[in-house]
Structure 1
Amino acid sequence: MNDKSKLKVYFYCFPPTLNGYGDYASAYHYYQHGTVCLGEGLQALGIEFYANVNFWLPSPEEPFLFRYDPNVSPDDCDIVIINEAWWERQGQFAKSLCDIQHLLRKNRPHQTILIDLSDDSPRKNFLDPNLARFDHYFKSHLSKSTPIFPNTHPFPFGLSERIIKELALVPPFSQRHHNLLVNSRVFLNGDHSLRNYVQKHFLPKINSIIPLESKVITDARDRGAYHTLQWAQASGRHNPGYYELLLSTTTCSSFGGYFISPFPRHPWTILGRACRKTITKLGWKTHRLVQWDSWRFWEALAAGCVPIHLDFDKYGFILPVMPENWKHYIGIDLDNIDDSINRIAQNLDRLPEISAAGRVWALENYAPIAIAKRFLKTVGITQEIT
């Protein structure tokens, strides 16, 4: 399919009546961020798309981004997209609402694509042979040290219009507080082994160079109808107070992930999971990580707040467009923490340029239009799209 004017896309969105909008506990796992980013990009490009349900309100006054049309079925479209919410719920809600096997049948008239931004777990991550039946499998958290199917492509969290809107007005860097923001949504001292290691070995040392800021922001439900809606739709991840804090701070601790053993090759087997739990319990570090992508990394970039994470190249993280260490972000080498901290101490004057370059890089490569263009090119829509 190469004619943009005739291209039609069909999304399976997890129904709002089932993911519990307004109820943080039940909505938590079903924020369909990848679907929203791609839909926003396709809309901006003028590409026609449909959905199984009405889904995602940009604001209380606007119509749904994804709309159901009873006259359009998946087989009327060139591309059919399922997201991780459907894949997770196979055998429960999903089977009664969407016959995934039918969408994967031979000689189907459309490409069937899975977009999976979920955390790593045994069934979803390359142990299920059904994943190879998709024409394309777009996945977050990819790295060079973990196995993938040939149809797999990196699809990191990136930026939605909701996030970009909240972080549109960036103050001069000189007006920010010289702090390192450390207030992860998933708290430290839990089972996030990378954050635990950083808390013990990195944060106490960097504190003398960049003072730590751990202010906790309450949720958005007291900030009006728009923010209450976005808080619910984003499963509690939307918080204007947190975005304001990013805009007022120079740097942000953006670490996320779990250390895994050098063996077995598949970290999601029973043995692999047992090794991961042992590594976490004993506080060890390795050079292999899963679940490394971080909401704070992307939000900090868009806010012009310099994110501090691991060195993406050293640890083999895979993105479709890679950031450069010390140009777009600051990447730490856990084998040489003191050297990493000394480099930060000696280059504090570079933070403003990294702030500006990182924000430009993120908006150029990971805003919805860029995400949609890259997606279309990957799935074979090759004509130029302006």
Structure 2
Amino acid sequence: MRRHSEPKVFFYTTSTECNASGAAGAWYQTLLITLAEGFNELGIQHYSNHNYWRLLPNTNEFLLQHDPTVTHEDCDIVVLERQYVEENHALPKDLFKPSRKYITVYLDSDDGITTPSWLPEFRQFDFIFKPHHIQSVDYPDNIYPWTFGLTNRIIRELAEHNDSEFREKKLLVNFRHNKQPHSLRKFIEKSFVPKVESVLPIDTSGKSNAIHKSTPVAPEDPYHYLRWVQTGRRHNPSYFKSLREATACAAFSGLFLAPKVTDFNPRVSYYSSRIVDRLGIKTDRIAQWDSWRLWESLAAGCVTFHVDFEKYGFVLPVQPTNWEHYIGIDLDNIDEAIDRIRDNPELLDRIAKQGRAWVMQHYSPEATAERFLNTILGESPVLACV
């Protein structure tokens, strides 16, 4: 990436981190963390309205450090994630002044098809980066496809991953079913799991929370406890250990959608997806497909199972290739995938290694921050000459 000078970035964060219990609903701003870590690796100066993401226990060093002498008007790019809006019930004051000379960016990590970033006031943002993109949705012009990707916390836990010969031949299936379980996951448990078990034993032990990615049990180690608190109980060393030791992981996530006509009304869209779920209908439209489990399993060197991204229209900044970086299931022809694994067992080892290499190349914090800046510099006439 070539720039005449390095832009300065200002982050708006929430005023508080998770409380000592790591309570659910705490402010975990993962897209913002990834960018800030990437900017550090690229040598990009960044500032924040609050200190956020303590680096180590018992220190006052933060990934995002507040400098009272720097405001958003002193910077070239201003970034905030959805948690800021949820906490403050408003966008930052004077963010969209007509005289502004900075680029505004919103990181929309919200679930669902239509989110608050579809509201008229969000058209003022120069860029909105949003995970869960699908081809069959007509997005506003300032919304760009994005992903959860990797943070250094995930990379650290999975750096010493096992080679295939030291892994247990099994497929981890440890979905967390909440009050509204993902309809795709329910379909997978009913239609895919019983079939794949004939070629790859199933491990569902995570359902007991013993190795689930989210756990109410606080780790004793100070570092892991800090991360458990900061992530709202999402950091679980036992879960990462299970990824390092298993051959494969089921990373299915998503809700089957009704026909596209429902998308234009959020309430109609929501209730139509509930009806589709209740009737047990399988469709070719899947929303809310991105998840941390997807990126964690790829980084762990597991064989990552999901649906076929191309068939179901998932859109990422850099697309993976089915049967090269992951195994994408065609829900209309599950047996074909099972037969392919049975006939070519060596596929698993190759896909696991290629998937990890692919995700580290394209979705590490540095790669993500590089892509972020290239997108803005390529699209924005304001920063093109910065």
So what's the TM-score if we normalise by structure 1? 0.91
SS in structure 1 of the partner of residue 52 of structure 2:
coil
Structure 1 residues 375-384 or 187-196, which shifts more? 375-384
Offset at 1:265? 5.0
Offset at 1:15? 2.0
Given the alignment of the two structures, is residue 119 of structure 1 paired with residue 117 of structure 2, yes or no?
no
SS in structure 2 of the partner of residue 379 of structure 1:
helix
Q: Identity of paired residues, percent?
A: 39
Structure 1 residues 233-242 or 189-198, which shifts more? 189-198
- Residue number in structure 2 paired with 1:31: 28
Name the CA shift for 1:116/1:189 in 2 (closer, same or farther; >3 Å).
closer
1: distance between equivalents of 2:115 and 2:164?
44
Offset at 1:381? 6.7
Offset at 1:61? 5.5
- Residue number in structure 1 paired with 2:299: 302
Q: C-alpha root-mean-square deviation of aligned residues, in Å? A: 2.1
Name the CA shift for 1:21/1:85 in 2 (closer, same or farther; >3 Å).
farther
Partner AA of 1:77 in structure 2:
C
2: distance between equivalents of 1:309 and 1:123?
24
Given the alignment of the two structures, is residue 244 of structure 1 paired with residue 241 of structure 2, yes or no?
yes
SS in structure 2 of the partner of residue 243 of structure 1:
helix
2: distance between equivalents of 1:122 and 1:149?
10
Offset at 1:215? 1.6
2: distance between equivalents of 1:173 and 1:267?
46
Q: How does 1:154-165 map to 2 (within 5 A)?
A: 154-165=145-156
Q: 1:117-138 CA deviation, whole Å, 9 max, x = no partner?
A: 2212644253x12222100000
Partner AA of 1:196 in structure 2:
K
2: distance between equivalents of 1:144 and 1:121?
12
Offset at 1:156? 0.2
Residues 12 and 81, structure 1, Cα contact 8 Å, conserved in 2:
yes
Given the alignment of the two structures, is residue 254 of structure 1 paired with residue 251 of structure 2, yes or no?
yes
- Residue number in structure 1 paired with 2:163: 172
Q: 2:79 aligns with which of 78, 81, 93?
A: 81
Offset at 1:289? 1.2
Offset at 1:25? 2.4
Offset at 1:254? 0.3
- Residue number in structure 2 paired with 1:135: 126
Q: 2:222 aligns with which of 222, 225, 250?
A: 225
Offset at 1:194? 0.5
SS in structure 1 of the partner of residue 53 of structure 2:
coil
Partner AA of 1:228 in structure 2:
Y
2: distance between equivalents of 1:123 and 1:159?
23
- Residue number in structure 1 paired with 2:4: 3
Q: How does 1:49-64 map to 2 (within 5 A)?
A: 49-60=46-57, 63-64=61-62
Partner AA of 1:162 in structure 2:
R
Q: 1:255-275 CA deviation, whole Å, 9 max, x = no partner?
A: 000000113252652222221
So what's the TM-score if we normalise by structure 2? 0.91
Name the CA shift for 1:136/1:330 in 2 (closer, same or farther; >3 Å).
same
2: distance between equivalents of 1:115 and 1:21?
26
- Residue number in structure 2 paired with 1:203: 193
- Residue-pair matches, total: 372
Gapped regions of structure 2 (runs ≥ 5): none
2: distance between equivalents of 1:123 and 1:353?
38
Offset at 1:22? 3.3
2: distance between equivalents of 1:268 and 1:40?
37
SS in structure 1 of the partner of residue 128 of structure 2:
strand
SS in structure 2 of the partner of residue 230 of structure 1:
helix
Gapped regions of structure 1 (runs ≥ 5): none
1: distance between equivalents of 2:265 and 2:225?
37
Partner AA of 1:376 in structure 2:
L
Q: 1:58-111 CA deviation, whole Å, 9 max, x = no partner?
A: 2215510101111001101100001010233453xx56xx32xx2123231211
SS in structure 2 of the partner of residue 221 of structure 1:
coil
